[in-house]
Structure 1
């Protein structure tokens, strides 16, 4: 087999160009432009995959949005993750094949099928970014927040990638024309300097010498990964996680009984109960459309086993599955009795079209339960003055920092992306209790732990309970020494690669000149010239 038809060349040529024979010399048109597109789409797909992974913590928001539109629970975010992973893998592999083509000095003739798929990938990413911006814009602050957890390691990865790619860059530099050499040099130096020096602007709360106390855990609707949300089974499972508070949502029935249910307004029972089977000819838009007896007749656990919203049902034993299958909607009084028994606090919101009357009845229920008032974390803002006068022992939590400061409060409950890590530290220095919701992923919990958050509301209390330390903590001096060492090692390796490539190119050029001279001499001594 000739060098042009070696196994490596044939495979690389076939996978990138879908051609198994060496192309003719006139097929290089626009090859450089398509190689640039492959590189660009690969970088875009990596960025998009990163966005999908860091927003995975809030995947239920996307699934809930899909349920509101289609009235059917599907794990839409997992579908998005799979599509993004396939796209990213394809683009990265195509880029690797292109680099192999460059290393083998093969022509970069991208096949039309790859061109179509690349354009299709750009369309997918464009639709994804547009969808985030229009319908899920509150997730964008998570990206810079996540960089505080990942930036040091992304920089190390970028240094490694630059070191590996430098071999191909030096090869192109030595074979380029004089004007192109200058452009390649400038771009390479600027990009290298940016990658090597970016640790100077990297900040992270985990670059700290003294680690704050681990945040306390608050069970979001109990332990919804281990049991149907807002059921007594769910709250009992969260007790085993060591939660310090139950988080739930309260609504009132037609006969004024406070009960636990998150979904509200139109079809509020559709997702988590069998209301369509029990009342097929009725549509319930408000909790006050049903009596407590009617609510008790609904099954609140079967949906969990059927839809498996967190892909966790397989972890349950048969006995636990049977218990989940028989869950019903609990009343607020049942939860208060459980909290009183285990000395656990209760944090809740109140969903109601009639906040005034419902607040009065809810406060009466709490006071009649006999629970210690200091275990009640009151969040609804509408009738806070009445609550302060009727139950002064309740702990007032605020979902707005300015409102908290105006009323001289000391307890804040907000979405984790609403506060940056420096703001969390500032509030904690001012003795403000900061609870952040909903925190499920290890990296996010680690970051908020380093920032000094007081507590987090979580779906995954059983996972966060097992964490003894954040995923990573590093002293600023140690990090500085590491990134400087990595940068120096990379520079040394690239210098050696440049020298090796320069010698190889000179050797190849000299050999070609000798071959040309030898051929000319043979031609001069041939019989035709005698």
Structure 2
């Protein structure tokens, strides 16, 4: 604290420093406020140091701050903000809105309605296009390498996208076939009408041309895409499609800043958690304090991972190398992880009570603490060595000092993966046992510097000749690999190790995801192509058959309507065909109409229609039957309630003579109202059809009524 008390802040200078939060590959530019202490001259007076110069640009090939799994940005407010979740939600809503409009438009066109878009929807669609274009420009400008990730994902998901796309094309073939066949029939009908009407021939020719153009505009892209899907496996070269015997060993894990999803990053708790999860090595970032103590810290300032704003708010933007270790060791490095408003990683699980208490008490560790743990557990150590500021005492010799600290820790030299390229020759001489690790250099440079291990970004390696590095027998470590599909791609590509934040999930993968043999994929390819082709042809044939059947039905209806319109003969059946000429209701008004009370009788609910020629045939084939007196007497004696009277007979005769206004109502008739003894005499012949029985009943009823009238007279 004495040094800080003597710091009379001579001036402040502004330096744009790139601070990357875990989970972001892009940079959030914030203002770094560096505090430079005054120095005393030989006479005891304070000397003002010369204004510091800007840092030298990052050398080409140097490692950029790695991306993480949760894609968060640490804003100037000091809180985590999941910008990717917000953007994905926004784009999801806009995509759902646009898709809904497309579906509604398709349904309206299907039903034949004219499309009309309200001005509100037009404005919203314009806003959607502007927002999409703006973010697409930002993506191409600042996160151009994200397109490389999209290309890598196709190497894994291309076979499954291919098979799924064929299924989608089969589903889309139904509306496409319906519309194409409908357009074909419409064009054929118009061409047929054009042959019989010369006046509108030119106009109809234009309409037919438009229909054909619409068919081509819809059908040609559909069949072109379908054909491309059928042959696209010929151009798919995925590392995940290989024989089982050629699959390499499972890649090892380097815990990126420990296990940052299980404990605060770059703390001893995080490194211990990584060791518990079976990490192959430990990765970290090293800074050098003002009093020459190497400590573990990723950012250039202390705002994000310590409580510097509570202890010394005015120094929160100060570069961490300008503080002494006596002050840095007093800062808390775990409360931000537990008490943060948002979790540092989106997929983080809740900590147990014991882990929460342990995380809240974490402090900034020294490099020697990490080396002791690595030596105890026999784990490899790889770290980024960050150079101090311009006025740091060891600005030019910090590498040699760190090497001396490592050698003093008595750790085995082969456990150190030396990553820094600054003053590498001195490191080779001072510590020949260190394993020299390079960046994404050319193979010639790696061979010249005798480097057999590279630590590279996965996006750049797969597009920079992975096969060449494998052929040169170079060991590859990829960073930052957090997703299972990406780890599976690295496994299928025979990568040796990966640096990850998500070690607790990736270690559970025992076989690469989306892996398949060439024979299995070829079988699925040919099977899906064959089945889809048969289904699509069947769908097109069904729509063609249904359209032809509909056309034949329409033509038959038009012919029938024309024939009936040209004929003057009424096709309506006469009144006496629709109902019996002599009904029992007219002859016997007291007869009950509830036929359900007579289960032993036969009932005709609807009188069958008769042809015009049938009465003549009946007169020729059936002899007129005369009613017998015994039958009349028996009817009168046995059924007193049905005894006919003169008034009833005359009323029945009058009702029968006049046409009934309810001509279309069916009349319920009964054939067994007479006695069984008279039945053979009234029915000389039994016909199986209902028509003959009804005709016989009508004839018998007429004769019987005539006999009653003559007897009464």
CA RMSD of aligned residues (A): 2.3
Matches within 5 A, 1:297-312: 297-305=330-338, 306=340, 307-312=342-347
Secondary structure of 1:401's counterpart equals coil
Please report how far the alpha carbon of residue 69 of structure 1 lies from its aligned counterpart in structure 2 after TM superposition: 5.9
* CA–CA separation in structure 2 for the residues paired with 1:122 and 1:70: 31
Q: 1:334 aligns with which of 362, 369, 378?
A: 369
Secondary structure of 2:81's counterpart equals coil
Residue of structure 2 equivalent to 1:319: 354
Please tell me whether Structure 1 or Structure 2 has the larger radius of gyration of its CA atoms: 2
Report which structure shows greater RCO (CA 8 Å, sep ≥6): 1
Secondary structure of 1:435's counterpart equals strand
Contact between 2:69 and 2:501, CA under 8 Å: does it hold in 1?
Answer: no
* CA–CA separation in structure 2 for the residues paired with 1:490 and 1:112: 41
Please report how far the alpha carbon of residue 518 of structure 1 lies from its aligned counterpart in structure 2 after TM superposition: 4.3
* CA–CA separation in structure 1 for the residues paired with 2:247 and 2:278: 21
Secondary structure of 1:140's counterpart equals helix
Residue of structure 2 equivalent to 1:274: 307
* CA–CA separation in structure 2 for the residues paired with 1:523 and 1:194: 56
Greater share of residues in helix: 1
Please report how far the alpha carbon of residue 333 of structure 1 lies from its aligned counterpart in structure 2 after TM superposition: 0.5
Matches within 5 A, 1:449-464: 449-464=491-506
Query: 1:257-297: CA deviations, max 9, x gaps?
Result: 00001111xxx111111111110222443222211121111
Q: 1:199 aligns with which of 205, 230, 233?
A: 233
Change (3 A) 1:215 1:518: same
Contact between 1:301 and 1:326, CA under 8 Å: does it hold in 2?
Answer: yes
* CA–CA separation in structure 2 for the residues paired with 1:438 and 1:526: 91
Query: 1:381-405: CA deviations, max 9, x gaps?
Result: 1121111111111111111222423
Residue of structure 1 equivalent to 2:400: 360
Please report how far the alpha carbon of residue 507 of structure 1 lies from its aligned counterpart in structure 2 after TM superposition: 2.1
* CA–CA separation in structure 2 for the residues paired with 1:355 and 1:424: 36
Matches within 5 A, 1:405-484: 405-420=447-462, 423-484=465-526
* CA–CA separation in structure 2 for the residues paired with 1:302 and 1:523: 94
Secondary structure of 1:247's counterpart equals strand
Query: 1:99-153: CA deviations, max 9, x gaps?
Result: 4445555555455444444333323322222111111112221111110001111
Contact between 1:424 and 1:434, CA under 8 Å: does it hold in 2?
Answer: no
Please report how far the alpha carbon of residue 175 of structure 1 lies from its aligned counterpart in structure 2 after TM superposition: 2.2
Please report how far the alpha carbon of residue 95 of structure 1 lies from its aligned counterpart in structure 2 after TM superposition: 3.9
Secondary structure of 1:137's counterpart equals coil
Change (3 A) 1:516 1:509: same
> Would you say 1:393 and 2:400 are equivalent positions?
no
Contact between 1:241 and 1:465, CA under 8 Å: does it hold in 2?
Answer: yes
Residue of structure 1 equivalent to 2:191: none
Of 339-348 and 397-406, the range deviating more from structure 2: 397-406
How many positions carry a matched residue from both structures? Answer: 466
* CA–CA separation in structure 1 for the residues paired with 2:257 and 2:295: 13
TM-score, normalised via structure 2 length: 0.62
Secondary structure of 1:330's counterpart equals coil
Contact between 1:421 and 1:451, CA under 8 Å: does it hold in 2?
Answer: no
Contact between 2:258 and 2:283, CA under 8 Å: does it hold in 1?
Answer: yes
TM-score, normalised via structure 1 length: 0.83
Change (3 A) 1:140 1:406: farther
Of 349-358 and 408-417, the range deviating more from structure 2: 349-358
Contact between 1:226 and 1:312, CA under 8 Å: does it hold in 2?
Answer: no
Change (3 A) 1:102 1:483: farther
* CA–CA separation in structure 2 for the residues paired with 1:213 and 1:89: 43
Query: 1:457-482: CA deviations, max 9, x gaps?
Result: 00000000000000122112221121
* CA–CA separation in structure 1 for the residues paired with 2:546 and 2:279: 65
Secondary structure of 2:80's counterpart equals coil
Task: Please list every run of 5 or more consecutive structure 1 residues that lacks an aligned counterpart in the other structure.
Answer: 1-56
